[in-house]
């Protein structure tokens, strides 16, 4: 499918009132947005299929929804470090941050390096990208051993005092997902949350209490990764 054809499809889906609704309802503030819901972009992405060149061309249009679509079309196994670094500095809200973190970065060979780099960044959505990638990586890599996620718990604990809404929510998300990866990590994540509770900042208290509410729930769905074999 050509860039012109895809752009035409995007403009046919566009409804400007959705830009206002997403800003008011979900706090999604984006430049050059034309108003398309994420679920509609997922349908279009499935129709198009993986296409690295098209994905990159879409990103370079500067249309917000075209950039979201890019995150769904680019092959995680062929993405480069240079591209990820070009893209991460443009992230302007939680939606596009999470779309790239979940759909692309966590499934790529750069997941762990980007987690280690981006969680140290100061800019809000670059830092969120690091923690959103942790949250997604917990489900994306079926084989990673527990020590990887134990190290991520240390990163979580080091960042619980960041009061910015979209950072602290991502830190909390990472903690909860680590604790849902397997029973051993559930125990370690609960221990980590209880350590965080000793920090009296508002963000740390919220992160810990919210995580414990889910991680200690008897109905929690705990996975069994890593697996020695895996059939999709």
Full-model pTM: 0.94
Quickly state the pLDDT bin for 229 (edges 50, 70, 90).
low
* Tokens describing residue 28: 């999604």
- Tens digits of residue pLDDT in 172-228: 999 999 999 999 999 999 999 999 999 999 999 999 999 999 999 999 999 999 975
pLDDT at 228: 59
pLDDT at 113: 98
- Tens digits of residue pLDDT in 7-19: 999 999 999 999 9
- Tens digits of residue pLDDT in 35-90: 999 999 999 999 999 999 999 999 999 999 999 999 999 999 999 999 999 999 99
Domains in the chain, CATH or no CATH each: 1-75 (no CATH), 81-232 (1.25.10)
Please tell me the total number of residues recorded for the chain in this structure.
232
Half-sphere exposure of 54 (CA within 13 A, CB side): 16
pLDDT at 231: 46
- Tens digits of residue pLDDT in 104-145: 999 999 999 999 999 999 999 999 999 999 999 999 999 999
Quickly state the pLDDT bin for 156 (edges 50, 70, 90).
very high
Helix (H, G, I), strand (E, B) or coil at 131: helix
Question: How far is residue 204's CA from residue 168's CA, in Å, rounded to a whole number?
Answer: 8
Question: How far is residue 61's CA from residue 113's CA, in Å, rounded to a whole number?
Answer: 28
pLDDT at 201: 97
Question: How far is residue 47's CA from residue 1's CA, in Å, rounded to a whole number?
Answer: 10
Contact 58, 36 (CB under 8 A): no
For helices 124-140 and 165-178, the axis angle rounded to 10 degrees is: 20
Picking from 29, 26, 36, 77, the residue whose alpha carbon sits closest to that of residue 58 is: 36
Q: Which residues contact 140 (CB under 8 A, 6 or more apart)?
A: 106, 107, 111
- Where does residue 223 fall: left (phi above 0), alpha (psi -120 to 50 degrees), or beta otherwise? beta
């Amino acid at each position: 499918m050509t860039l012109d054809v895809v752009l035409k499809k995007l403009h046919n889906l566009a409804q400007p009132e959705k830009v206002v609704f997403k800003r008011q309802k979900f706090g999604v503030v984006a430049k050059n947005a034309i108003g398309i819901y994420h679920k509609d972009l997922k349908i279009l992405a499935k129709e198009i299929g993986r296409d690295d060149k098209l994905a990159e061309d879409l990103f370079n249009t500067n249309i917000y929804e075209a950039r979201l679509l890019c995150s769904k079309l680019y092959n995680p196994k062929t993405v480069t470090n240079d591209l990820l670094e070009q893209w991460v500095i443009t992230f302007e809200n939680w939606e596009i941050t999470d779309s790239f973190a979940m759909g692309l970065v966590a499934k790529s060979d750069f997941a762990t390096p980007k987690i280690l780099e981006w969680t140290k960044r100061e800019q809000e959505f670059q830092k969120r990208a690091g923690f959103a990638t942790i949250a997604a990586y917990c489900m994306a890599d079926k084989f990673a051993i527990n020590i990887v996620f134990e190290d991520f718990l240390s990163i979580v604990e080091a960042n619980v005092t960041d009061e910015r809404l979209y950072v602290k929510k991502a830190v909390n998300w990472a903690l909860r997902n680590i604790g849902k990866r397997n029973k051993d990590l559930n125990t370690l994540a609960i221990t980590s949350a209880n350590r965080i509770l000793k920090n009296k900042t508002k963000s740390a208290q919220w992160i810990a209490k919210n995580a414990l509410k889910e991680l200690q729930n008897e109905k929690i769905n705990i996975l069994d990764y890593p697996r020695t074999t895996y059939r999709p």
